[in-house]
Structure 1
Amino acid sequence: MRDLFTAGTPQTIADVLHSKDERVWQQQQLLNQFPQGTVVALKMNVPGPIKTNAQLQDLFAVGKQQLEAKFQDVTQLQAPVVTTTNAGTEVFYVFAEAGLAAKRRAIAFEDQEPVGRLFDADVLMRDHQHYSRSELGDSVRRCFLCERPAKECGRNRTHSVAELQAYFNRIATEVLGDD
């Protein structure tokens, strides 16, 4: 079985928060540049201090390809913007599609097994900053391990980092094969 977490630079909470600030800045830049477009920001929810390495990049590439397949019939207003730091890889798309329609596609990607569950695909428009599942009458995201609401498990630290990493390793082995 693969072990995705043996290589990489450990990140601190400050590093992750800085990455979040950079993500928000990038989203705002794209919304300002394409005020009629819909921004879809894709990132992987990697548990623990290691957020990127070659194997995680390979897994990210599979998820990116699967998300792009969900949007293959939608006009892109610019080439995707990919950023990679030690805090992980993110890709930003700008589509000529209504926000709610884009969110439906993003949810279809996130809910597909197995890779989509590892990702967040945020959908934003200038007039309505962020679209949520509840706006579509969809249920909240479920935990990888127990099917309770993911935010609840994350907030309560219901599962250990080791348990969550084991889930990632299992999915990576299924998707990418053994080392």
Structure 2
Amino acid sequence: MSSLHQKVLEAKEERSLFQSELRNKHGLPVISLTLNLPGGFEGYEGWEAVFKKSRDIISKTFSQGIVEHHHRLGKWGPEGFWVVNLPAETVKKQTIEIEENHFFGRIFDLDVLNEAGTILSRRDFSMEGRQCVVCEKPALSCYRGQSHELWEVKEKVEEIICKGLSRDV
């Protein structure tokens, strides 16, 4: 196993443990934020501004229900966590809305864990998965099929970041 792959797995495990701690502490849904920055966050100018904007929109959207909030730099990049006193299904629908409609939404990866610790997915709402940032086909198909070179994906993500920061969205 490559050291890069190992680092990604360690980051997922670390994030999962923290999510479980928050969920067990409060017995409420948890929103987990990471940024889709292929190749690692260090390779993107502006990642800090995008992360701040993502935290701001989540905090604003769920302001009436936030019980606890954390953000940190994990092993694989920036992470945010919100414990919310709202129905998990409602929270997931709102996070999908953010991913679909915010200018940086294509870069946001918002997971919602319900009270039992199950990650809710778009399929739970009879919705299609996310679209590829490069070609608009299903992202999972492109990822599994390695349909695009890393440089293509990075170039598209950098374009989104540059346009968004220049427009101050």
Distance 1:62 1:40, change over 3 A: same
Counterpart selection for 2:29 from 28, 35, 38: 38
Residue 75 of structure 1: aligned partner: 65
C-alpha distance in 1, partners of 2:97/2:8? Answer: 27
Gaps of 5+ in 2: none
Distance, in Å, in 2 between the alignment partners of 1:121 and 1:103 is: 8
User: Could you tell me the TM-score, scaled by structure 1's length?
Assistant: 0.84
List 4+ stretches of structure 1 deviating above 4 A. Answer: none
SS at match of 1:42: strand
Alpha-carbon offset, residue 164 of structure 1: 0.8
RMSD of aligned residue pairs (Cα, Å): 1.8
> Which SS does the other structure have where 2:13 is aligned?
helix
The corresponding residue for 2:142 is 153
TM-score by length of 2: 0.89
Matched, 1:105 2:97: no
Structure 2 Cα separation of the partners of residues 71 and 57 of structure 1: 21
Specify the alignment match of 1:7 in structure 2.
none
Gaps of 5+ in 1: 1-10
**Aligned residues: percent identity?**
26
Structure 1 residue 28, shift from structure 2 partner:
0.4
The Cα offsets for residues 79-108 of structure 1, whole Å up to 9 and x where unpaired, read as: x11120351000000000111100000100
Change (3 A) 1:174 1:165: same
- Larger relative contact order, structure 1 or 2 (CA cutoff 8 Å, min sep 6): 1
